[in-house]
Amino acid sequence: MRGFWNARVTCGVTLALVFLCGAVIGAVVMDFGVHGRGQAVAFDTPQGKADYFERLQKELDLTPAQSEQIGLILNDFWQYYRTVLSDAKQRIEVVLTPEQKVRFERLLQDQKR
């Protein structure tokens, strides 16, 4: 009976160590930002806009005239997008308490990361 108990304890300790090693390695990987590499830049940033426009030009084989027109259309869209987001944020803040506004701002900042 004593040998059986030692095997169970050994198995449990081994599983716990494997789990802890995985958690530590995962934390280190997340801390170094390895998980974020290869992700596209948000399209509402200057770099994201440039990347998206460049992709459209390449994949659609746009002529210079088409590129100019689509560039204007996308600029209008991005301006509209910013206006809608700003309006929504203002409307939400009217409903929130001062403490909730602080947390809401924090949520928005976290979302940008």
pLDDT of residue 58: 93
- Kindly give the confidence (pLDDT) of every residue in the chain, 113 residues in length, as a single tens digit, with 9 standing for 90 and above: 555 567 777 777 888 888 788 888 877 777 666 555 556 667 678 888 899 899 999 999 999 999 999 999 999 998 998 899 899 999 999 999 999 999 999 998 887 76
Cut 0.75: pTM above it = no
Query: φ, ψ for residue 40 (rounded to 5)?
Result: -70, 150
pLDDT of residue 26: 78
Report CA-CA distances (Å) from 49 to 14, 25, 30, 41. Answer: 50, 35, 27, 9
Ordered by start, the domain boundaries in the chain are 1-39, 41-113
Residues 30, 32: Cα–Cα separation, whole Å:
5
In the three-class reduction of DSSP (H, G, I as helix; E, B as strand; rest coil), residue 61 is classed as coil
